[in-house]
Amino acid sequence: MIPLIRGVRDIFPPDSDLWRHIKNEAENLFQDFGFSEILIPIMEKTELFKRSIGEQTDIVEKEMYTFADRDGESATLRPEATASIARAYISHKMYAEDPIRKFYTIGPMFRRERPQKGRYRQFYQIDAEIFGQSSPYADARLIIMLKTLMDRLQIKGTTLHINSLGCFKCRPDFNNSFKNFLIKISDNLCQNCQKRANTNPLRVLDCKNKFCAEVTKNAPKISEFLCQECKEHFETVCETLKDTNIEFQINSRLVRGLDYYTKTAFEIQTDALGAQNAIAGGGRYDGLVKLLGGPDTPAVGFAIGFDRLAEIIASNNINYAQKPEIFIAALGKKCIKEAFLWMSALNTAGIKTETEFSEKSLKSLMRRAGKIGASNVIIIGDQELEKKEALFRDMNTKEQIEIKFDNPVKNIMEILSKKINRKKG
């Protein structure tokens, strides 16, 4: 047997049933919010991710699946979706026809980290982005959409953390002040943070080391440095969330791992997945489109960890598998042939129907019908074949009635619709 590549996995029933449920809920919701689907490549030129995510980030430095294509070009398996969507926005000059665009995409991402709970090398993200709207209402709308999805999927015990990272005008001031602070307390920081103090100071805030958290307690806060524009922006986002009854907490230590974020940053956290506490994260990235060679375009987006969502929902033990409406139990060769024809006709008519192709006892067939959760069983044996009347059994009520062989699809649909009416009535 050929083993799997580390960090990748197969998703199959019952998990894949749950996955389909999540995907459907997300897509329906996004459509309601006016988002269109965009499909983007699994791989891109390496340069795209280096430029957008940032050379100094962990993702680019050590986690990307980068390889030389046969012509020598450096290609990379996408570690996230935002860069590609921004690239697509620019390369098709979408802004020319309508600068305001709302997209979503669902698919696999690749990062070469050490696998652990809720973390895989091939993992799936549900991603949504808004281009061309600088208003804080765009941020709020996205967060509302995200929260609504969590509610619809019945994800409980989550907290929404939100922060503002400032913009290109005010963040440098904070960075300088923060760096100076770090230099003073440098000796008390962990080794990692001492390094980060130079390369990517904001990340020090994110350190889980207790001592680092302690000594940075009195560090300058980014909120004190925000320019008027950023401040108002953040306040409006927070107010809007309050007005729409969305609970959140302002977390001044929330920093994101990608360089392109500006202003609003947010994360949905859970304690259900061990160390992997983020199930969704996002924020505003007003500089990215320009950085990638497009016009100056504001943008905001988020990504949800699909695998993590699925793992949380799976603990509810709800079965999302499709169950057949009808199972045809056929006894003997002739009846199996008849059953096959009925099944095909019913499938074509849109009724979920199954049958068994091999000759088995009725008991065995009934067991199978019960096992796969069929609501009704149609029995066709030699007696029925002769009378040209099959037996229709309701598996819940155990009622059995006879149905004529002529036009079985029509007869069966009539029975089924009567039942639905009875349930409604």
Partner RNA sequence: GUGGGUGUAGCUCAGGUGGUAGAGCUCCAGGUUGUGGCCCUGGUGGCCGAGGGUUCAAGUCCCUUCACUCACCCCA
Residue type for 292, please? L
Considering beta carbons, is residue 94 or 189 the nearer one to RNA? 189
Considering beta carbons, is residue 258 or 326 the nearer one to RNA? 258
- Say whether residue 3 binds RNA (CB under 7 A): yes
Q: Which residues pair with 401 in a beta bridge?
A: 392
Considering beta carbons, is residue 95 or 405 the nearer one to RNA? 405
Query: Please, which of residues 180-209 interact with RNA by CB under 7 A?
Result: 192, 196, 203, 206-209
Give every strand in the sheet of 389-394, ordered side by side.
353-355, 326-330, 376-380, 389-394, 400-404
H helices of 108-260, in order, are 136-152, 171-185, 191-199, 210-215, 228-243
- Say whether residue 343 binds RNA (CB under 7 A): no
Q: CB within 8 A of 284, min separation 6: which ones?
A: 139, 261, 262, 263, 264, 265, 298, 299, 300
DSSP code per residue over 343-384: HHHHHHTT--EEE--S---HHHHHHHHHHTT-SEEEEE-HHH
How many residues form the binding site for RNA (CB under 7 A)? 68
> In the set 267, 286, 338, 354, which binds RNA (CB under 7 A)?
267
Residue window 270-309: x/- pattern of binding to RNA, with contact defined by CB under 7 A? ----xxxxxxxx---------------------xxx-xx-
Rounded to whole angstroms, the Cα distance separating 336 from 332 reads 6
- Say whether residue 123 binds RNA (CB under 7 A): yes
Considering beta carbons, is residue 134 or 209 the nearer one to RNA? 209
Rounded to whole angstroms, the Cα distance separating 109 from 11 reads 15
Kind plus residue range of the DSSP H or E element containing 86:
helix 82-91
- Say whether residue 331 binds RNA (CB under 7 A): yes
> In the set 11, 48, 115, 135, which binds RNA (CB under 7 A)?
115
- Say whether residue 114 binds RNA (CB under 7 A): yes
Name the residues that contact RNA, by CB under 7 A: 3-4, 6-7, 57-59, 80, 111, 113-120, 123, 125, 192, 196, 203, 206-209, 255-258, 267, 274-281, 303-305, 307-308, 331, 360-364, 366-371, 377, 379, 381-384, 391, 393, 395-396, 398, 400
